[in-house]
């Protein structure tokens, strides 16, 4: 594990956010000015291959970016606001039940489960309702 790889892994693990490659590059450059974009992309590919990070598209809420997070011991679903992009992580028994049901129904040995759900956060729900009221009044 090189110093630059460790910087990127630490950023992904400790940022508390889902970072794309460009955000990772900018944050990593603040710690090591010699780090370049090619290193970031190669390192992300390696970390994925080694099973240390997961690559997510998060419903492409901001275009074609992919986001990275460290592989957690506990599976979880990502809940994405389709308006503001807020991301929540859901941990719960229904995910384990779904995994078991899929394995039983199809006979698959699942090694990874990813779930993404899209909708509107409470704030965006209020904004949408307000917009609909204003549109109806016009």
Flag whether the pTM goes above 0.85: no
Mean pLDDT on 46-73: 88
Q: What is the pLDDT of residue 109?
A: 93
Task: Tell me the per-residue pLDDT of 30-49, one tens digit each, with 9 for 90 and over.
Answer: 999 999 999 999 999 999 99
Task: Tell me the per-residue pLDDT of 74-100, one tens digit each, with 9 for 90 and over.
Answer: 889 999 999 999 999 999 899 999 999
Domains of the chain: 1-71 (1.10.10.10), 73-138 (3.30.1490.190)
Name residue, tokens 């450059």: 29
CB 68 within 8 A of CB 54: yes
CA dist., res. 113 & res. 37, Å (int): 29
Helix axes 3-14, 21-31, angle to 10 degrees: 120
Structure letter (DSSP) for residue 121: -
CB 99 within 8 A of CB 75: yes
Q: What is the pLDDT of residue 71?
A: 84
């Amino acid at each position: 594990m090189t110093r630059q790889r460790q910087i990127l892994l630490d950023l992904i693990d400790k940022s508390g956010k889902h970072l794309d490659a460009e955000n990772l590059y900018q944050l990593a450059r603040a710690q090591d000015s010699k780090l370049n974009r090619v290193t970031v992309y190669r390192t992300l590919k390696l970390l994925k291959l080694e099973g240390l990070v997961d690559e997510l598209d998060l419903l492409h809420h901001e275009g074609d970016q992919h986001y990275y997070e460290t592989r957690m011991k506990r599976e979880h679903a990502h809940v994405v606001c389709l308006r503001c992009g807020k991301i929540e992580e859901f941990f719960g028994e229904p995910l384990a039940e779904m995994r078991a049901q899929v394995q039983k129904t199809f006979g698959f040995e699942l090694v990874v489960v990813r779930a993404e759900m899209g909708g509107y956060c409470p704030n965006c729900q209020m904004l949408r309702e307000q917009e609909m009221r204003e549109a109806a009044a016009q």
